[in-house]
Structure 1
């Protein structure tokens, strides 16, 4: 249960920090727009409540259910990514057609695609574990990644492409991909990035602003410079909660993309250190779950989800401090967002569900009594039973007997690899003839008179009682 507590504890603290900082960073902007200052914070609180419900549902989902439905979910997600590109159905915001308008919120199918791809990839690699090679490791995971990547580029959503690549790296690394292949993937990623940057002028502007933000401080480097100023203003202890100056419309997207800069300004370096430490605890718990899990699917999915969440957080904090170019990815569990927060909490619930399937957790459950509150909050630990068996090839199927015929049916593909269908009659060797040992001559018995008397027998020459006559004489006369 330690891994489950680490996941839920770290995610819960990050969620609390996110709610406080979203309320602080968005209150001024809401007030300037003639809205209640508390409205964005309350809206984020409602989404967090819905996310906690989704996390509770994920905690009670069987692992086999996730495996069985992952292929169907992958087809559904690919259809949604195609559907969002249709004008009139997909909503276009900030030059990208990435959302569905649900009336009360906007749904981004690219976020769902990351989770589904992680679960489906872990399912496929777990099925091929018995005869896993480099080719079976790449196919069909890599082609499916290519299809999803093309659909995301068509939106366009470069940040989703990068985070989906993190999921792919986690799957291949956990699956045992040789390191030399990662070098080839890195070279291919560099070529792809160069092509995408050359294809869109705004991406080229982001790269230029990353290399020298002060070359264009009023346009391309404006956001990066304001973010670094916010971190520098906070110092060690920060200026205090609610006292940020950059949230007065000086830092764009202060409540979402650049919320880490507001954390550094109001809570200082120590506040940033707490956030980084909590993500480190989440990473440690995810890898601990993968190391202690007995099911291969749980191992692969745990590593893919952990690399995704922690890698996305690293990218967000990296471009805020100026170490990475701006990609637009949010800070998980902290940045403002509706459906993205619900989905992230659902992912945390899946990771905690994997922790409950550890053999140590299942064994500990048998020797302890849980309270009513514990049973209500967390389900009982249960082993991850693998309900999905790999499809056996004809040569791997055992022979089956036909009732009433005495024959055994063997598949054609296995006729050359298995024993004959009908067993050969066993021929028992003839038993060897028994030879009797030659009988040795018995020693001659001594004369009757010379035999020693036995106990209870009369001695020779003595009359037996009741015989009625004296001793016999030679010749038969008495």
Structure 2
């Protein structure tokens, strides 16, 4: 009987590969192999193009989060020892960050184990409604927690959350879903697209802008432009939109005092180094004193109440002081690996929505990193945005880990593109040794007409069957009797007699094939049906060639 070959041979899932077993044929029992066995089972059968960026993404994220915990403790321990609000606990911020990271990890696992269509199609309206309500609560007395003249946080018990971080996740998801439905599925018209874009993207962006939080607005806007470029939007139009947005944001900044002071500080930080430029100048001192290798982790001097927000917005300056230029370049290299893994996942995403989610999540993380680092270095005006994975901030670490979960979801649901070879391999079957009748397969010594091998009828041979389109493999595990005649000679496909089988071997009376004769002579002698021996076939062949 015919049986289909295992699906993992032509791009099947990892689950298919685990069901088949190990490549050596042994059964795979991950339950008895411990942690290493489970990890091996999760990796086994997944193509390299999917597994490598997935492993790099998880590894880089773990390194950044753990290193961030270390630097948060180092940068905040001294100030916490002298602060009653921190209960004089040097690990106060570290403990809270670990709680937030645990929540973010749980959400990341939830997103990674779900198909990303679950939150781009089935529950998108609920996500958008929840984010809009949270952004509105920022302005509601009793929930709002204003800091430095901005209303960006809401209080929930002893914790405070920044809804704009969750809005980033929602906006990326909404943009990817709308692009998929408009460009690919075709179930959205222009009027519906405009309406959903206004509600799902325009309203959250407007609420973030009036907090005011121009930094998050700019980061999200640039991310959306990148997503549109990936979707195939006109680059000229996108460039004009980016330029127009930058001009509008600049004009808006000139009308706000705190934003104008950040611009003047950026242009000349040494004009008021003891006033408005104090934090930026202290960050310069921290970076300059670190040198090449730094002063050592825990030995920063600027964290002794000289550098404000050392564990938050300016943690990159503390890294530069304690770990030096090597440490700062190492952080940049980790984010570069993160970008490589994220865009690699986007490249092999199964559809437009997955490609846009992966590129949007990756772009937003990298853009926010550049905004923070460039602000600390004085290359752009300060924005107050935390460094992803490294800065202290509960909502920030949760949102960043949610982005990682979404990237893993896209990667897990990716599949190899089907090629012509995949289709042919799917039609491969295994037959036992006693099942013949496939025109394209013959034993040694038997001539198969070209018309039969191509699936055409051969009237001269008395055959009118059509060869199957698939490829058939004859099982070699059968007994000798299945493949040979009663006297040990090979049987041909048309049921030849023992005498004709003996003629293949030169008439010597046993089933051994005569290998002394060349292939052309054996085929002529076999096809002519005159019963010549191998030697006679060769001489006959020479005579015929001579006559020609």
Q: What TM-score do the two structures reach when normalised by structure 2?
A: 0.63
Specify the alignment match of 1:102 in structure 2.
156
Give the aligned partner of residue 180 of structure 2: 126
The CA RMSD over aligned residues, in Å, is: 2.4
Per the alignment, residue 255 of structure 2 pairs with 199
Match of 2:352 in 1: 296
- Relative to structure 1, the CA distance from residue 281 to residue 134 in structure 2 (aligned partners, 3 Å threshold; closer, same or farther) is farther
Which of 46, 50, 53 is matched with 1:3 structurally?
Answer: 53
Residue equivalent to 2:226: 170
Q: CA deviation at 1:344?
A: 1.4
Question: Match for 1:73 among 120, 127, 149?
Answer: 127
Aligned partner of 1:33 in structure 2 is 83
1:392-403 aligned at under 5 Å gives the runs none
Structure 2 residue 107 is matched with structure 1 residue 54: yes
Using CA pairs under 8 Å that are at least 6 residues apart, name the structure with larger relative contact order, 1 or 2: 1
Asked whether the equivalents of residues 137 and 177 of structure 1 are also in contact (C-alpha less than 8 Å), the reply is no
How far 1:147 sits from its partner (Å)? 2.7
2:346, 2:192 → 1: CA distance? Answer: 19
1:135 CA displacement: 6.8
Instruction: Provide TM-score, normalisation by structure 1.
Output: 0.72
Cα drift, residue 148 of structure 1: 2.4
1:250 matched to 2:306 = yes
Find the aligned partners of 1:255 and 1:148 in 2 and give their Cα distance: 29
Looking at structure 2, the residues matched to 60 and 240 of structure 1 have their Cα atoms a distance apart, in angstroms, of: 40
Moved over 4 A (4+): 131-138
- Displacement, 1:93? 2.0
| Equivalent residue number for residue 315 of structure 2 | 259
Alpha-carbon distance in 1 for matches of 2:241, 2:190 = 15
**d(CA) in 2 for partners of 1:137 and 1:327?**
35
1:89 matched to 2:143? The reply is yes
Distance 2:241 2:391 in 1: 30
- Cα 1:60–1:290, aligned 2, differ >3 Å: closer, same or farther? same
Matching of residue 233 in structure 1 with residue 286 in structure 2: no
Q: Which ranges of structure 2 fall in alignment gaps of 5 or more residues?
A: 1-50, 419-548
Deviation at 1:142, TM superposition (A): 5.8
Provide the secondary structure at the position in 2 that maps to 1:352. Answer: helix
Tell me the alpha carbon deviations over residues 238-288 of structure 1, each in whole angstroms, 9 at most, x when there is no partner. Answer: 000000011111111110100000000000111111110110011111110
Q: Higher Cα Rg: structure 1 or 2?
A: 1
Pick from 389, 404, 407 the counterpart of residue 333 of structure 1: 389
Cα drift, residue 137 of structure 1: 12
Distance 1:137 1:160 in 2: 27
Partner SS for 1:187: helix
Ranges in structure 1 where 5+ consecutive residues have no aligned partner: 363-478
Q: Please name the residue that 2:325 is paired with.
A: 269
What SS class does the counterpart of residue 175 from structure 2 fall into? helix
- Aligned length, in residue pairs: 363
Give the counterpart of 1:311 among 340, 358, 367.
367
Q: Mark the CA change 1:233 to 1:140 in structure 2 (over 3 Å): closer, same or farther.
A: farther
How far apart, in 1, do the equivalents of 2:359 and 2:415 lie? 18
Q: Verify the 8 A CA contact 1:4 1:353 in the aligned structure 2.
A: no
How far 1:141 sits from its partner (Å)? 7.0
The answer on 1:190 being equivalent to 2:246 is: yes
Question: Is residue 115–residue 410 contact of structure 2 (8 Å, CA) maintained in 1?
Answer: no
